[in-house]
Chains A and B, each alone.
Chain A
Amino acid sequence: MIAPFNEYGLLSDGAGLWIALVIGLGFGWCLERAGMGSARKLAGQFYLTDLTVFKVMFTAILTAMLGVFWLGWLGVLNIGRVYVPETFILPQLVGGVVFGIGFAAAGLCPGTSCVSAVTGRGDGAMAVLGMFTGIFATGIFFGSLESFYNSTARGQLTLPAVFHVSYGIVVFAIVLVALAGFFIAERLERRAQIRGERPA
């Protein structure tokens, strides 16, 4: 096991921030190239006329998920030392619902709003400002939300643990679901094209 490099002390002090910059560059590049700086394009996901969001997101999830799985299997990556976001069932479900309402209204999410703003879109800049305002206000009034925020804590709970199956089975199931999703996404886009809701 040699990875995560940072966890095995293979990085010098200060290297982390340079890596943050390079990783960010790659992240922003891919988002912009795929057209995810455009709110209209992202909103197409919610009207089933342009499923770029689904395709990019799920291809990325599949790639990283399979990479982690195979590197772990080969003994290169110690999965136990990669930080898995902790589960808080209710706040994450409710937070997701609130987030989704804002996502549909803005047509952008936090990362894509930055790409939208720097590429000249005024709506992207407003979404960035709005995000900042929302987080600032919630942070200031955090005291009244704190007990809910910390409720239904389950620690680093993963899907294999919940369904009592092996890691590989879950990975395989997600791959199958995503492939079916890609197939449906292509059909939906073709339908939208025929109806004239989407440029050819």
Chain B
Amino acid sequence: MSSAVAPLVEARERWLTAIVPRPYANPYLMGFGLGLVLLSAFVIMGRGLGASGAFASGAASVAATITPDRARASHYFARYLGADGGPRVDWLVVELLGVSIGGLLSALLAGRVRATIERGPRISRRSRLALAYGGGGIMGVGAVLARGCTSGQALTGGALLSVGSWLFVVGAFAAAYAVAPLLRREWT
């Protein structure tokens, strides 16, 4: 390392170590908090939480902009578009914006914001990023088929005793446990 950047590196190290990330909160307490948030959504709006639906709304808007004919032809995208076939503001998009702001605020106040790539010692950054991207893509396909994800199906439908939502939970966790042994290198 050249001596010119050494003080900068040292300053960065000092700054990073000065912020001691606070430990995470009790999972049961946070689960209770999350349950109250979900219950408020039921009581106020008559609907639950979601995440993949916001992605679907975003994808529909992008499709409507770059390939309007195909967007209108897709019965999946059509429901996320306005009557004119153009983008509209969806409840879930605003909710997911809130999720991002809420997550950032919580992390900032706890000194947990840090540029990193989470991975095990035996996997390269590039492979980990590829697995995150590929995994995200596969989840996207699954969330379309299942009409929701861990938020809209597992949490929301689970709490409302929907049969399809519980089938989703069983399918998702069974599959994750089945493939996890093949992916051990990713984390350990």
Residue of B nearest to A133 (CB): B137
Residues of chain A lying within 8 A (CB to CB) of residue B70: 140
Which B113-153 residues sit within 8 Å CB-CB of chain A? Answer: 113-120, 125, 128-153
When distances are taken between beta carbons in the complex, the residues of chain B under 8 Å from A106 are 131-132, 134-136, 139
Q: Is A75 an interface residue (CB 8 A)?
A: no
Which of A7, A33, A140, A156 contacts B162 (CB under 8 A)? A156
Within the assembled complex, what's the spacing in Å between the Cα atoms of A45 and B151? 17
Q: Which residues of A contact B24 (CB under 8 A)?
A: 33-35, 41, 52
Would B106 and A28 count as touching, CB distance under 8 A?
yes
Asked if A34 and B27 make an inter-chain contact with CB atoms under 8 angstroms apart, the answer reads yes
Across-interface contacts of B168 in A (CB, < 8 A): 92-93, 95-96, 99
The number of chain B residues with a CB under 8 A from chain A is 126
Instruction: Determine the main DSSP class of A at the interface with B.
Output: helix
Q: Name the distance in Å between B6's Cβ and chain A's nearest Cβ.
A: 24
Residues of chain A within 8 A of B9, CB atoms compared = none
Min CB distance B137 to A, Å, is 4
Looking at A71, A98, A156, the one whose CB has the most chain B CB atoms below 10 A away is A98
Inter-chain contacts of B36 with A (CB < 8 A): 26, 63-64, 67
**Supplied contacts A21-B97, A62-B35, A96-B175, 8 more A-B pairs, CB within 8 Å:** A23-B98, A28-B103, A60-B31, A77-B43, A110-B149, A123-B132, A126-B130, A132-B55
Residues on B close to A: CB < 8 A? 24-25, 27-28, 30-49, 51-52, 55-56, 58-60, 62-63, 67, 70, 73-77, 89, 91-92, 94-107, 110, 112-120, 125, 128-180, 183-184, 186-188
